[in-house]
């Protein structure tokens, strides 16, 4: 079966480098699945999941917090601002961060202030973490409530 080469890197480390059968990513334009021989593709990533199916049939998930993706000649490169393996996510800390961000958001703070914008960014990142962790750790887990 034909495969593609995936490199998932952040400024701190390489999270994955190897052959996969497919990769599904959350982009600003929506979710996209890249298969071997996909047309060349470049997109901006949004906070969310990268799901890969490996040649041996196993699956792996990552949460990313923005960045870029490029596909050309069966090589998929993901340059993530930050990312984690699904099994590295601390669900308890993500839930606490969501609660803290919501508290800040609900205070009478100027919506254009740095504090408010930082709280919204923290909320998005934590929600993405929690969503991926719960989705991948338990097939029966429900997704976290909406960030709105």
Distance of alpha carbon 94 from alpha carbon 126, whole angstroms:
5
Quick one: pLDDT at residue 145?
47
| Average pLDDT taken over every residue of the chain | 83
- Please write the tens of the pLDDT for every residue from 29-46: 999 999 999 999 999 999
Q: How many C-beta neighbours within 10 Å does residue 111 have?
A: 8
Residues 71 and 12 in one domain: yes
Between 145 and 67, name the one with better pLDDT: 67
For residues 113-142, give the mean pLDDT.
65
Reply yes or no on whether the pLDDT at 103 is more than 90: no
According to the model, what pLDDT value does residue 147 have? Answer: 43
What pLDDT does 108 receive? 67
Do 64 and 99 fall into the same domain? no
Token pair 């703070």: residue: 109
Q: Which residue has the higher pLDDT, 31 or 121?
A: 31
Residue span of the structural domain in which 93 resides: 89-137
Share of the chain above pLDDT 90, in %: 51
25 and 61, same domain (yes or no): yes
Please check whether residues 18 and 71 belong to one and the same domain.
yes
Residue 18 pairs in a beta bridge with 6
Please indicate, yes or no, whether residues 65 and 95 belong to a single structural domain of this protein. no
CATH number, domain containing residue 27: 2.60.15.10
Q: Is the pLDDT of residue 139 over 60?
A: no
Same domain as 52, residue 8: yes
User: How many angstroms separate the Cα of 34 from the Cα of each of 24, 47, 65?
Assistant: 6, 18, 19
Domain annotation covers residue 142:
no
Are residues 70 and 100 located together in one domain of the fold?
A: no
pTM flag (> 0.75) = no
Q: Which two tokens stand for residue 28?
A: 């600003």
Using DSSP, state whether 65 is helix, strand or coil: coil
If residue 68 lies in a helix (H) or strand (E), which one and from where to where?
Answer: strand 67-72
Question: For the chain, what is the domain count?
Answer: 2
């Amino acid at each position: 079966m034909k495969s593609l080469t995936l490199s998932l890197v952040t400024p701190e480390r390489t999270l994955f480098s190897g052959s996969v059968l497919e990769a599904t990513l959350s982009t600003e334009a929506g979710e996209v699945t890249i298969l071997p021989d996909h047309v060349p593709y470049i997109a901006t990533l949004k906070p969310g999941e990268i799901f890969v199916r490996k040649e041996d049939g196993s699956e792996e998930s990552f949460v990313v917090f923005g960045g870029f993706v490029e596909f050309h000649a069966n090589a998929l490169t993901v340059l993530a601002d930050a990312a984690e393996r699904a099994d590295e996510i601390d669900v308890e800390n993500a839930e606490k961060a969501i609660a803290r961000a919501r508290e800040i958001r609900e205070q009478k703070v100027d919506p254009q202030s740095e504090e408010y914008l930082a709280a919204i960014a923290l909320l998005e990142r934590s929600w993405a973490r929690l969503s991926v962790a719960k989705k991948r750790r338990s097939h029966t887990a429900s997704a976290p409530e909406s960030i709105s």
